[in-house]
A and B are shown apart, each in its own frame.
Chain A
Amino acid sequence: MELNPQQLVFYLFALLTIGSAVVVVTIRNIVYAAFSLMVTLFSIAGLYVFLQADFLAATQVIVYVGGILVLILFGVMMTSGSLDLKLKLERGQLFWGGVVSLTIFGLLLSVITNTPQWENVDIGASQEPTTRKIGEMIMKEEYLLPFEIASILLLVALIGAALISRKEVRDE
């Protein structure tokens, strides 16, 4: 089987994504799991670039790697007495977890393979950045209202997080 460079890059990123995701699920040290999640998120950003979604790739790196992962690391530091936690598995849990997830995988796979081929819209010429298009769709067209609602959601989440995680102050 000849691999052209395109396929080689795709398989490289796919392998990186799956491999590091497996490490997240299986490794015992929770900090290593967080760093492995970082590799996953970065390689998904790489796949976005490969899919000509440059804006999303940048957003992925900024929001997920720069924001969410740092938050998770803070959570790890604030909650773990011992970083090395035992991965104790009960046999029944592993069995039923495996059954459920394999069922889901089989279902997804059957849907993917049984879906008729998509009409291949030729977008060969769309090499221009997507930022402009996304910005126009969000600010001018049908996605303006969801955008505003998302901003309110973020504000609510911010206030709620600050309220929930503060120390309790008793009224005198």
Chain B
Amino acid sequence: MALQYYLILSALLFTIGVIGVLIRRNAIIIFMCIELMLNAANLAFVAIGRELGDASGQIFVFFVMTVAAAEVAIGLAIIVSVFRHRETINIDEINTMKG
């Protein structure tokens, strides 16, 4: 398959993630949408890396996965902590720091 197909698929996946972040109000769903966006970027990395015959793209994906794992661990800890204090994870109701 040509590179363009993979890149278009990646762009579509990224856009779906952006839509999810913008329209959903549940913090965990927003989390999943961020994972979708990270995966879209990873897919583009791997596709371009194969096209150029270079394994560096795959190594970047490897590091992105590491950071994603760290991000999920911290993020879910924060969400659980917020839920304990506020009894909700609807991000419209968690606006104490709003100016």
Bound CA–CA A7/B6 (angstroms): 12
> Which chain A residue shows the least CB distance to B26?
A85
Which one, B8, B20, B43, B55, contacts A44 given CB within 8 A? B43
Say how far A107's CB is from chain B's closest CB, in angstroms. 9
Among the listed A17, A96, A119, which residue makes an inter-chain contact with B22, where contact means beta carbons less than 8 Å apart? A96
- Which residue in B6, B49, B65 is a CB contact (below 8 Å) of A59? B65
- Evaluate contact between B8 and A137: CB separation under 8 angstroms: no
Confirm or deny: B94 has a beta carbon within 8 angstroms of a beta carbon on chain A: no
User: In the complex, are the beta carbons of A71 and B76 less than 8 A apart?
Assistant: yes
* Bound-complex Cα distance A50 to B6 (A): 11
Q: How many residues belonging to A are interface residues under a CB distance threshold of 8 Å?
A: 82
Binding site for A on B (CB under 8 A): 1, 3-9, 11-20, 22-26, 28-29, 31-33, 35-36, 39, 42-43, 46-53, 55-56, 58-59, 61-63, 65-74, 76-81, 83, 87, 89
What chain B residues lie within 8 Å of A68 (beta carbons)? Answer: 35, 68-69, 72
Contacts of B73 in A (CB 8 A): 71, 157-158, 160-161
**Across the interface, do A33 and B32 meet the contact criterion of CB distance under 8 Å?**
yes
Is the CB–CB distance between B11 and A130 below 8 Å? no
CB neighbours of B80 from chain A (8 A): 75, 78-79, 165
Say yes or no: is A1 at the interface (Cβ < 8 Å to chain B): no
Residues on A lying within 8 angstroms of B by beta carbon are 6-7, 10, 14, 17-18, 21-22, 24-25, 30, 33-34, 37, 40-41, 44, 47-48, 50-53, 55-56, 59-60, 63-64, 67-68, 71-72, 74-76, 78-81, 85, 87-89, 93-94, 96-98, 100-102, 104-105, 108-109, 112-113, 118-121, 123, 126, 130, 133-134, 137-138, 143, 146, 150, 153-154, 156-158, 160-162, 164-165
Residues in B neighbouring A34, C-beta threshold 8 A: 32
Is the pair B9, A18 in contact by a Cβ cutoff of 8 Å? yes
Highest count of chain B CB atoms <10 Å: which of A22, A37, A55: A37
